[in-house]
Amino acid sequence: MSERPDRRPPPSPKRPPWRRSTSAPATPPASPPAAGRPAPAGAAPPEHRSVIDSAVYRDGRRVASPATLADTFRQLHEEPDGMAWIGLHRPTEAELHSLAAEFNLHELAVEDALEAHQRPKLERYGDTLFVVLRAARYLDAPEEVEFGELHVFVGPDFLITVRHGAAPDLSAVRRRMEGTPELLSLGPEAALYAILDAVVDGYAPVVEGVQNDMDEIETEVFRGDPEVSRRIYELSREMVEFQRATRPLVGMLHGLMAGFAKYGTDEELQRYLRDVADHVTHTSERVDGFRQALTEILTVNATLVSQQQNAEMRALAEAGFEQNEEIKKISSWAAILFAPTLVGTIYGMNFETMPELHWAAGYPFAILLMAVVCTSLYVIFKKRDWL
């Protein structure tokens, strides 16, 4: 990106060919007042401040901290060799269109920055790079991964960041770069490297947190925790999002490295970007390993659950068999006891016309009949293994 063709009509001969003309910049809509500056009388308090930080740098050092976009444009025009770094958080459509008019941003890139929910990508529009990144951070309390989206416009003398989400902490990136002015003096490409490095470094705590979750899940699987299936599913979804954030970065960084010679990238930046590419490749491989491991854990969990269900069904079957055997015994003894009860009931009715009432052998016959019936039933049930 060292060759910086003009984005506007031919500038004044006193300016380098890659600078903008000194015509009056397009004035954006009124921005919220800066901290410490009183708001105009009767003005409603702003609900959201889009411009998080805006600065103009010369030779890697901050020379101005404009409060509004209009002030930033004016300060940049007053610095022939300056660079603007504008940090936005969920800007309005009017603010992005103002930036597009000032820096000749492509309308497709502006539309992507407005809509968000983009996959990581790198596109070149003339002398402007448009980069979409997905940052991630691990939340310890809920044990989940939170993703943010970052859009970066990189031009010959400007860098614009449009952040959708809490991650990454670009204020820390800016402080780091301001602490090394010799690196920031290399231009917007150096700031882009710092942002890429911050996003990629932010993946390391996420990888560690996910690894801890994986270890806990393995313990819960073999412990038979019934809630582990839900946790595996949720972590698998997060790994899909993580994979979508990291895998495209490998190709993006290789694309940047392929243009080193064409765009005359500084050798120091080349080394930095190669280091970032190595970290991204390592992280992407770890994420791929997590997805594969989760698939295997889910298979093992399904097998263990199936074995547990089979054991429970076998236990129920055994319990049913034992219950059936008990019912057989109870039914057999009930039938055996019912026989003498039936005989005794018949001969205990005391009807006068019963022929056996005055029979001398009636009582022994009744006792013998009870004994024969009970013995016969016992033998029958015993042969059938009911007793």
Residue 12 phi, psi (nearest 5) = -65, 145
Q: pLDDT band for 20, please (50, 70, 90 cuts).
A: very low
What per-residue confidence (pLDDT) applies to 321? 84
The pLDDT assigned to 46 comes to: 44
Burial of 271 (0-12, 13-18, 19+ CB in 10 A): exposed
For the segment 230-281, what is each residue's pLDDT rounded down to a tens digit? Answer: 888 889 999 999 999 998 888 888 888 877 766 677 777 788 888 888 999 9
Angle between helices 188-201 and 203-223 (to 10 degrees): 10
Number of other CB atoms surrounding residue 60 within 10 Å: 17
pLDDT in tens, 330-341: 888 888 888 888
- Paired tokens of 252: 């993006």
The pLDDT, as a whole number, for residue 63 is 93
The per-residue pLDDT of the chain, averaged, comes to 81
Tell me the mean pLDDT in the region 282-303.
Answer: 89
Model pLDDT for residues 150-190, shown as the tens digit of each residue: 999 999 899 999 988 777 788 889 999 999 999 899 889 88
Q: Name the pTM for this structure.
A: 0.68
The contacts of residue 272 (CB under 8 Å, 6+ apart) are 193, 197
Determine the distance from the C-alpha atom of residue 352 to the mean position of all C-alpha atoms in its chain, rounded to a whole number.
94
| Averaged pLDDT for residues 100-123 | 89
CB 280 within 8 A of CB 247: no
pLDDT tens digits for range 65-81: 998 999 999 999 988 88
Q: Are 158 and 25 in contact (CB under 8 A)?
A: no
Q: What is the pLDDT of residues 358-379, one digit of tens each?
A: 777 778 888 888 888 889 888 8
Q: Under a CB-based contact definition with an 8 Å cutoff, are residues 329 and 387 in contact? A: yes
- What is the tens place of the pLDDT at every residue in 311-322? 888 888 888 888
